[in-house]
Amino acid sequence: MTSVFHLEFVFLVSLFCLSFAFVDSEDGTTLLEIKKSFKDVDNVLYDWTDTPSSDYCVWRGVTCDNVTFNVVALNLSGLNLDGEISTAIGKLKDLVTIDLRGNRLSGQIPDEIGDCSSLKSLDLSFNELYGDIPFSISKLRQLEFLVLKNNQLIGPIPSTLSQIPNLKVLDLSQNKLSGEIPRLIYWNEVLQYLGLRGNNLVGTLSPDMCQLTGLWYFDVRNNSLTGNIPQNIGNCTAFQVLDLSYNQLTGEIPFNIGFLQVATLSLQGNRLSGKIPSVIGLMQALAVLDLSCNKLSGPIPPILGNLTYTEKLYLHGNQLTGSIPPELGNMTKLHYLELNDNHLTGLIPPELGKLTELFDLNVANNHLEGPIPENLSSCTNLNSLNVHGNKLNGTIPPAFETLESMTYLNLSSNDIKGFIAIELSRIGNLDTLDISNNKISGSIPSSLGDLEHLLKLNLSRNNLTGVIPAEFGNLRSVLEIDLSNNHLSGIIPRELAQLQDLYSL
């Protein structure tokens, strides 16, 4: 009896092993079919062979289930693979993850991919895939992550994608998709991330977008959307990033947008009009506020000074009037303050000197008057200062010598008088110094020749006298020097012949 039991046990074990051998053979054969559709220019799949000793579960990019030995993950990202995705991929029924991002794959996404019924994550981004998004993807009931960004996909977004019950991330950015955003997409209760930027989408933003109660990331940047921002936008309470920029949206910014607790609000590059709603100053979570390049008018609300966590404030390229609120000096986390190309008047508030983390300050092309505040020198992290095209007067603050991080200084086209402060030569990292078209007099300080990183020097259209300093021959990196329309005398120093990169003098 014992020997019979032993024989039966051996027989069952043999069947068990044979069944796995069959599975091994099926999935291994399928993987080799998939390989045939690739052009493996770097031979990175050298171990994908059909030799008897080859175990496909240890092939590069392949992960198998520990019990069944079926293929559950295929990760071939960033391997410089050319060619196409084989229709055979649909035979790998147990695949949970497909990651082919960052290759050079072309052709269409095969319909058969909809047969991978266990799939939870599909990432085909950063390839050269074209054609439509196959409707068969909607059959993937387990799918949670669908990332097809940065390809050349065309056609509409399939409305049937809304039928995928567990879809959390949908990223179709940077393709050539057209048509409208399917309204059914907005009724997916579990969707958390919707990335549609950089396509050719048209139509309007539906009020239904606020039905996405779990959505935190909504990005439709750089499409051709028209109409108004939905009046109920304040009901999208889960949003953390809202990017509607570079479309053709019109009308005013809804007042109740202030109810959002987003970290990023990007509305730039549209045709929005009216005033900046003061209620935006209550959006305490804002890190980035970009309302630039619209048709906004009226004053900058002083209440924006309450945004003490905001790092980037972009209001440039509008029709804003009035003065720069001193309250902006309370935005102590601010790195970027862009107010250029408006119709602002009055003084540059000295309170901006409290912005010690400021990296970029641009107030160019307004109607600002008065002196440049000396205490801007307290902004010790300042990398770029542009006050071009205003009516500023007074002199160049000598205290600017403390701005050791400064690489770009543009004071041009104002009414600045006095001498060129020799202290400017101590801003050792300057690559651009433009103080042209002012009323600066006196001689050119020879110490400007110490600015070894300088690429562009423009002192033109002033009242400078004297000679061109021979020390300019030390500006070994300089590409452009403009000293025209002054009252300089003497000869051009021969030392300037040493400036091998100089193309304009």
Q: Rounded to an integer, what distance in angstroms lies between the CA atom of residue 23 and that of residue 29?
A: 10
pLDDT digits (tens, 9 = 90+) for 367-423: 999 999 999 989 989 999 999 999 999 998 988 888 888 999 999 999 999 998 888
In CATH terms, is domain 25-202 a member of 3.80.10.10? yes
pLDDT at 111 over 90: yes
Both structure tokens of 206: 């539906």
Residue spans in the chain of domains classed CATH 3.80.10.10: 25-202, 393-504
Mean pLDDT of 155-160: 94
Question: Are 119 and 81 spatial neighbours (Cβ–Cβ below 8 Å)?
Answer: no
Q: At 16, is the pLDDT very low, low, confident or very high (cuts 50, 70, 90)?
A: very low
Of residues 23 and 190, the one with the higher pLDDT is 190
**270, β-bridge pairs:** none
Helix (H) or strand (E) holding 200: strand 200-202
Q: At 187, is the pLDDT very low, low, confident or very high (cuts 50, 70, 90)?
A: confident
| pLDDT the model gives residue 309 | 93
Summary mean pLDDT of the chain? 89
Mean pLDDT of 214-223: 95
pLDDT digits (tens, 9 = 90+) for 406-420: 999 999 999 999 998
| pLDDT the model gives residue 13 | 38
DSSP 364-399: -SSEEEEEPPGGGGG-TT--EEE--SSEEES---GG
pLDDT at 426 over 90: no
CATH of domain 393-504: 3.80.10.10
Q: What is the strand order of the sheet 367-371 is part of?
A: 345-346, 367-371, 391-393
pTM, rounded to two decimals:
0.87
Least Cα distance to 419 among 403, 432, 434, 435 occurs for 435
pLDDT at 3 over 50: no
Q: What percent of the chain has pLDDT over 90?
A: 70
